[in-house]
């Protein structure tokens, strides 16, 4: 996929900026003590604050603030020690307060950055404008009754981080890489679970098209995308729609659009003219938020190693390729598993086994690494058997499939099936003599110059040994015998 679209009148370039809503991991809501647990019975986790009762008073949950600071540090943002909560006023049935408490002019984090890696190994820095903290709304339920809509306020008041990128993304692939990378970072620092299918991470995608190098054009915003794949499709559709308008000499109207997954189209939701005037003003129930430098320092000191640092360490210390390192660090659990297997062993061998064998089987079984039937020490034992020549790499793959299937240890399977590699020179010589005695005609041909037959002999010897002869030794001994 390219960064550009070729129209009848020339080339158009994507300009994309993303607003990501990430639900903060915290036991209770942003301004109340009600639980945030997912999947509970409707309206069982609603305090008077979340229900917008008259006279209620919000009390800030410092865990949510600490989580936002941690995330801000992870995206290399500036942590603002002074920030302000505003009321964003609008009416919606799932918003009983009649306003959302958010941050507008003075967010808690500004000016961050995030590095995305593309498939060709290249890297690009994407600017982040801001990260602010706000409340989530409740949920209208339209599918419970043919004649009525209901509202579930369990989500009302849950803390969100809104992370706004600069318009630095230049293709749907870059946008996808950005969302994946951000999700990976959020999971590393454990501030959001990143589960898009549950709605705990949602994306609003802004896109406009321009002639390469020229001024930005008018953008449209596609709201509430809940999968990376849908986002890419929505962006591709929207780009073509805008190019059609621009090529016909028209102007793109700035508006908010929705992506209809079934039809694969974006549709207008509201135009800029109807856009809300939210009448932002500082919430009189909440003092401005002032953070002590010690609090920020303490959080900074507790940060785990982040994906970029881990990736560079895997490349520099373990000699892994950029691609392998990226794959292994994307999820922290995979990286931890890898390090446990690689400890004291061949780093590249361990990386190959995870990426092409283990991940392959896990994928097929629809399992995550936390449910892997083969543990890190068990895979390590298998790699040791390869390294000390007990088994060949090929046999190892068969053993691994059985380990995955049955949970048995590698050593046990080798014993049970007699798969131990033959490395005894005498035994290998005996098999070779036997094959040569049988194939006198071929030996003659080989000796009179038909070199190609060497592979045939290797095959015959391997077969005669039941696949158990050490291939390297077979090659060596066979060479001396045939040439001798």
Binding positions for ligand ADP, rule: CB under 6 A: 15-19, 164-167, 206-208, 216, 219
The two structure tokens encoding residue 2: 């390219």
126: alpha, beta or left, given left = phi > 0 and alpha = psi -120 to 50? beta
| Closest to ligand ADP by CB, 80 or 208 | 208
Rounded least distance, CB 209 to ligand ADP, Å: 9
The two structure tokens encoding residue 193: 């679970």
b/e map 140-174, b = 16+ CB within 10 Å: eeeeeeeeeeebbbbbbbbbbbbbbbebbbbbbbb
Rounded least distance, CB 146 to ligand ADP, Å: 37
Rounded least distance, CB 169 to ligand ADP, Å: 8
| Three-state secondary structure string covering 443-459 | HHHHHCCCCCHHHHHHH
| Closest to ligand ADP by CB, 13 or 50 | 13
Rounded least distance, CB 114 to ligand ADP, Å: 13
List the one residue out of 100, 102, 95 whose CA is nearest residue 139: 95
Which residue number has the CB closest to ligand ADP? Answer: 17
| Closest to ligand ADP by CB, 183 or 219 | 219
Rounded least distance, CB 377 to ligand ADP, Å: 45
Q: For residues 146 and 149, give the distance between their C-alpha atoms in angstroms, rounded to a whole number.
A: 8
| Closest to ligand ADP by CB, 208 or 460 | 208
| Closest to ligand ADP by CB, 82 or 216 | 216
Which residue is it, tokens 């990376």?
Answer: 228
| Closest to ligand ADP by CB, 166 or 468 | 166
Cα 239 versus chain centre, distance: 25
| Closest to ligand ADP by CB, 17 or 307 | 17
- Asked whether the beta carbons of 338 and 355 are under 8 A apart, the reply is no
Rounded least distance, CB 215 to ligand ADP, Å: 9
- Asked whether the beta carbons of 134 and 102 are under 8 A apart, the reply is yes
Rounded least distance, CB 85 to ligand ADP, Å: 18
Cα dist from 100 to 137, 222, 279, 281, whole Å: 8, 21, 11, 11
List the one residue out of 216, 244, 170 whose CA is nearest residue 14: 170
């Amino acid at each position: 996929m390219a960064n550009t679209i070729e129209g009848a009148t020339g080339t158009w370039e994507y300009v994309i900026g993303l607003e990501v809503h990430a639900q903060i991991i915290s036991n209770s809501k942003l301004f109340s003590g009600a639980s945030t647990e997912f999947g509970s019975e409707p309206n069982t986790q609603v305090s008077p604050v979340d229900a917008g009762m008259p006279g209620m008073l919000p009390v800030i949950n410092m865990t949510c603030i600490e989580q936002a600071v941690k995330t801000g540090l992870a995206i290399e943002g500036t942590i603002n020690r002074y920030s302000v909560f505003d009321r964003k006023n609008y009416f919606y049935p799932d918003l009983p307060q009649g306003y959302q408490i958010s941050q507008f002019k003075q967010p808690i984090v500004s000016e961050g950055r995030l590095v995305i890696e593309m498939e060709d190994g290249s890297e690009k820095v994407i600017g982040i404008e801001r990260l602010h903290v706000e409340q989530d709304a409740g949920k209208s339920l339209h599918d419970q009754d043919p004649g009525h809509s209901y509202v579930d306020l369990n989500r009302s008041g849950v803390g969100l981080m809104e992370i706004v990128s600069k318009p630095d993304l230049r293709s749907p692939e870059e946008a996808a890489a950005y969302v994946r990378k951000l999700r990976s970072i959020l999971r590393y620092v454990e501030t959001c679970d990143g589960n898009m299918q549950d709605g705990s991470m949602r994306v609003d995608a802004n896109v406009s098209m321009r002639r390469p190098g020229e001024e930005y054009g008018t953008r449209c915003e596609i709201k509430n995308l809940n999968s990376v794949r849908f986002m890419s499709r929505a962006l591709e559709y929207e780009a073509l729609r805008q190019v059609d308008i621009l090529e016909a000499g028209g102007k793109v109207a700035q508006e908010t659009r929705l992506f209809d997954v079934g039809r694969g189209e974006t549709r207008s939701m509201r135009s800029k003219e109807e856009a809300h005037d939210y009448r932002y003003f500082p919430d009189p129930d909440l003092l401005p938020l002032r953070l002590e430098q010690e609090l920020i320092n303490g959080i900074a000191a507790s940060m785990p190693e982040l994906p970029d640092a881990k990736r560079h360490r895997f490349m520099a210390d373990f000699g892994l390729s950029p691609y392998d390192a990226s794959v292994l660090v994307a999820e922290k659990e995979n990286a931890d598993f890898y390090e446990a297997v690689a400890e004291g062993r061949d780093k590249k061998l361990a990386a190959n086994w995870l990426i092409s064998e283990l991940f392959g089987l896990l994928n097929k079984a629809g399992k995550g690494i936390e449910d892997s039937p083969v543990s890190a020490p068990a895979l390590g034992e298998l790699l040791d058997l390869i390294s000390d020549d007990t088994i060949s790499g090929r046999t190892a793959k068969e053993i691994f499939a059985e380990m995955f299937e049955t949970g048995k240890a590698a050593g046990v399977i080798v014993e049970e099936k007699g798969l131990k590699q033959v490395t005894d020179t005498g035994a290998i010589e005996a098999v070779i003599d036997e094959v040569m005695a049988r194939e006198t005609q071929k030996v003659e041909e080989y000796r009179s110059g038909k070199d190609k037959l060497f592979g045939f002999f290797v095959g015959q010897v391997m077969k005669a040994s039941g696949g158990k002869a050490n291939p390297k030794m077979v090659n060596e001994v066979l060479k001396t015998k045939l040439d001798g």
